[in-house]
Homo-oligomer: A and B are copies of this chain.
Amino acid sequence: MSKYTELKRECYEANMELNALGLVIYTFGNVSAVDRQHGLFAIKPSGVPYETLRPEDIVMVDFDNQIVEGSLRPSSDTQTHAYLYTQWENIGGIAHTHATYSVAWAQAQRDIPIFGTTHADHLTADIPCAPPMRDELIEGNYEHNTGIQIQDCFQERRLSHEEVPMVLVGNHGPFAWGKTAAKAVYHSKVLEAVAEMAYLTLQINPQAPRLKDSLIRKHYERKHGANAYYGQ
């Protein structure tokens, strides 16, 4: 029995949750879960439908994108995951989807404005849309460069990946992360819900104002601040 059985199961369940939540169809999307101690991560195999995916199909890969265990090819987006894991050392899972409203904002090349408390309960900033990559980066090591593009976006805007656990990659779609793979999936679902609400808000009132700072702080702090009083 593999010593990664537990991590593979965690990764498998997070991938299946992506499907159960309606964030993906067919073989779209992927979730990974990291093992910091051994310097590797579990990730969905490429092009395998969720209907037939099994825990033992999950592939173990190191941060140099080498397969450590598994007979299947890992997700084509593996290098994006690897890059983000090496850059952001306190994240434990990453999820990528083609969820409808998230993709629509990415295709529109627009940040999702913070319009309400549903958004502020989870993050204090607009959800950034990283611009599409320059041609030489696309034609080079594309998936690795997608990771760089995400990190560059966060650096340029002085965003913290801890406070903003999600991003849109322009013309492509969303990536989200968290302490665990399950939390990364949670953030993917929240992103999709917020993306739909923001879309409808602008349809009802194209001049809808962003949420005021006091409400952003209040809602974020009551859930995530030093004196948080949400949850158990």
Contacts and interface: CB of A to CB of B under 8 A. Distances in A.
A110 B205 contact: yes
Given A101-B200, A105-B204, A108-B201, 10 more contacts: A48-B232, A76-B230, A103-B118, A104-B204, A108-B205, A116-B173, A117-B171, A132-B212, A199-B203, A202-B204
- How many copies the complex holds: the figure is 4
A13 interface: no
A232 B189 CA distance: 28
A106 B120 CA distance: 14
A27 B122 CA distance: 13
Nearest to A26: B186
A159 interface: no
26 contacts: A26-B189, A47-B232, A48-B232, A72-B232, A73-B229, A73-B232, A76-B222, A76-B229, A98-B193, A100-B196, A101-B200, A107-B116, A107-B197, A107-B208, A108-B201, A109-B209, A117-B172, A132-B215, A133-B215, A138-B218, A139-B214, A139-B218, A142-B222, A171-B212, A202-B204, A203-B203
A161 B69 CA distance: 40
A211 interface: yes
Contacts of A105: 204
A135 interface: yes
Interface string A87-110: 000000000001011011111111
Contact of A214 (B135, B190, B203, B230): B135
A98 to B, nearest CB: 5
Contact of A104 (B106, B197, B211): B197
Nearest to A213: B135
Interface in A175-195: 186, 189-190, 193
B117 A193 contact: no
Nearest to A106: B116
A147 interface: no
